[in-house]
Structure 1
Amino acid sequence: MATRAPAAAASPAGGLARLWARTSLRVKLIAGMLVLVTLGMTVMSAAGASVLRQYLVGRADDQLRGSVGRAIDQVVPQLESGQTRITVRIPSEMYGQVRTTDGRSLGQNEAWSEAGHPRLPSDLNKHVDRPFTVTGTGGSTWRILAEPIPGGAVIVLAFSLEEIDRTVQRLVVIDAIVGLAVLAVLAVVGVGVVRASLRPLSAVEETAGAIAAGDLSRRVPEADPGTEMGRLGRSLNTMLGQIEAAFGARAESEAAARRSEEAARRSEETARLSEERMRRFVADASHELRTPLTAIRGFAEFYRQGAARSPAELDRLIGRIEETASRMGLLVEDLLLLARLDRQRPIERRPVDLLAVAADSVQEARVLAPERTIDLTVEGGLAYQVLGDEPRLRQVLGNLLANAVTHTPEGTPVEVRLSPGTLRDEPAAVVAVADQGPGLAPDQVERVFERFYRSDEGRSRDDGGAGLGLAIVAALVAAHEGVVRADSTPGEGATFSVVLPLADD
């Protein structure tokens, strides 16, 4: 039981402490101000009442001293004449008594008051010559002054303090009423002043909430730097600037790390794809070269065995070897061209008249395939001039026309169209080679620009080539910062479009 008492006693104090801790700063300031004003007014009221009472009691003492002198002048002749009943004329509000030193009354005057009369102490002789206070009948208080009289008597005058007490009480009541009114006014004014003074803190709180929500660009409103809120706001803004800069640097660092990681992944993926393409390229190139080399070796073995007995047979055998070697040389040239383009070596860039290149390519195709109808259509009134390598652009159109002639039945018409277009929102020239052949399936369209890909697997290498023509077209167009695409529907022909940026005027 002894150990629980302190905890029980401390519980109210702890509750008050928790209540005070939960109280807002505005309420604390107003409550503190009102408490201090109340204490000050209470002290002032108490001091005023005490001073007023002392002043009024002092005036009563002065009246007693003035009246006791006059009363002695009245009493002394009566005592000298031997009167046994003494009469004293004093102010009506005073009580007077003449008595012997042993306490016997020789005469008294009752005060004209409802306060009764004072109760005189038995040791009155000890209080002579100085005023003092006693209680009276009815609970009243009196101010007493006792003075000795020649002849062995004592005159006692008393002044009731009832009116003085009422005056002091009225003053206290007035002070309380005025104090309450002042407190009410101060409370209203204090609420306004504190609210206005703490408005910058509300702005700080709002800014802190916005920052906590993620808006690091918010700042505390600027105030007079000579005030506490101005200095606090400036310090907070400086701190927020540093925090924002730190978060920005961290975000930038994380973004840079992510970019580096993504670049590393892309580089790794690019390297892997490049390695795969290189392996596939080497394997396909080896396979494509093996065929003519095998043919040349077979023809040479055939000659060594003496199979060619006549000059005609010998000429035919040498002709086959030369034809195979020429085809192999063309294949090697194509492979070397693709290798150079893969290394992204810059090409020569000069103004090229694309219309002239298209016209020459169409004319050459007509010479190589006289049985075909190959037309050139020009749309728009543009000067189709691009920046590039003219021989390579001729090779692009030559390969596209050769592809159209090779992979369509004899007599199938081919059309070359030159028209204006756009590339990356900039003016461009579009060269399209369209045929009316059997067309391509969707899966063939997707792979038609791959190296060593042949859409018609039934064709021999002698008839259909090595499958590098369209791959070279795609690489050359990409080197000219253009694009090439294939559009085809089975049974309705195919269209290969090359889009190149126009040269600036």
Structure 2
Amino acid sequence: MPEQRLRIPRTPTTLRRKVVLAVVALVTASSVVIGVVSILALRDSLMSQLDTQVRSTAERAYGQVRGDGPAGILGLLNDQNETDARSILFGPATAEGTLALVNNNGTLTAGYLNDAGSISYPSTAQLTALATVPIDGSLTTVDLGPSLGEYRLLGAQHNSVVFIVGVPMSALNTTVSQLSLTVIIVAALGAAVVALIAAAFTRTAMRPLERVSAAAVRVSELELDRGSVDSFEPVSTEGVEPGSEVGRVVSAFNTMLDNVGTALVAREQSENKVRRFVADASHELRTPLASIRGYSELIRRMGGDTNPDVTHSLSRIESESIRMTALVEDLLLLARLDEGRELVRAEVDLNEIVVNVLADAHVTSPGHEWALGSPEEPVVVMGDQHRLHQVVTNLVANARTHTPTGTRVNVTLAVVGADAAHPVAEIVVADDGPGIPPERLDQLFERFVRGDESRARATGSTGLGLAIVRAIVQAHVGEVTVASTPGDTRFVVHLPMSDVAAAPATPPASPGV
């Protein structure tokens, strides 16, 4: 089995951080380039001065040894003059640390001026290093070990006399090191200061965009597809230059909010008109439907020698008027729930409701296998008993209507999170029927949507039962969900058991009304 590596999600890099990092990187790179150029220029300048000092030391040594000899290092020595390192080092204006080596006809003398102004003698290893100096009048750098460090040296030869003179590079190296450290410190401090300034600047510059982001988040959290939506508060333009890029973004966002708000107001007005129409029409239809049903029942009961066709027609008129009355009552209930009318709130024992509904189901549909699971103690919620009874009735009727005879339907009641601060009552209506087509699950709680069109039509279903369930549950600050596979369909209702003040009923989307 291949080894699986744990992937840690990356934290997204914000625009502010990118800007600050870019500015700091640019300033740091510029500081490094300027520092390197400055260090190299200073080192070249100091090296030039050091080379001049070495040549000057050699010339002074020549003047001390020859007196009237010809100028130049190649005319430094002759056969009659005896020269050694000591005579050179004790010459006039010889700097501390100056080194001299003379090989006069096989006699080797060497030394350097120490801090006390006396002569110290190089070690064998240092003499070996000095032996590598070219004797051609050119300048070279040699490392003489930890005690002396690097030296700038010049060597020459005339006849049988070899002469080497040098000056320590410790002062040059110290100066360059100090400058390098100074450049590093200044660059680091400069980068830190620039980072703070850039962070403050970008924070100020990005504040309008943060306000836009916060406003967008607030809008995204609203349920724009339902209910009443207050007008959106525009993003403040304080500190925003109108013609800038940020200013244009803020202006465009505010324009968008205004357009969306206008569209939502128009949608709400249109939905209110539809709700009022449905409520008014449903209310007005109740009386004529009751009259039609009453007269059809009266004529049917009068009996007599009524033609069989007329009797059948009257029976159909009566049954359809009953179905139409049920549809009108459902529409009127949905319209009232959409308007957010207050429910009758009292303590309701859900145990009693599920027991009564299941007892009715045993009578109305003996062909189904009914099962009940509920706790012995009462499960009490605050709500409208009649409406909650309708929720359970509609869910059980839905299971009965859309499943064949012999289907097992389980109704269970339980308390979820009994030990928590806000326990929830859970009602589950499950069946082992054929299931609901997956493409219908998302729209199952919409109005006039049926899980099985042919079966629902045959049984007189209006397609409003589940829409009523959702509207009532939402009015009780609850939630209803559905999951379905062949052989297992579950409707789950969650209702808060704590005494929660019911929010105004949130009107569900009603595209079909």
TM-score for both structures, normalised by structure 1: 0.48
The structure that is helix-richer by fraction is 1
Higher relative CO (CA 8 A, sep ≥ 6), structure 1 or 2? 2
TM-score for both structures, normalised by structure 2: 0.48
Q: Which has the larger radius of gyration?
A: 1
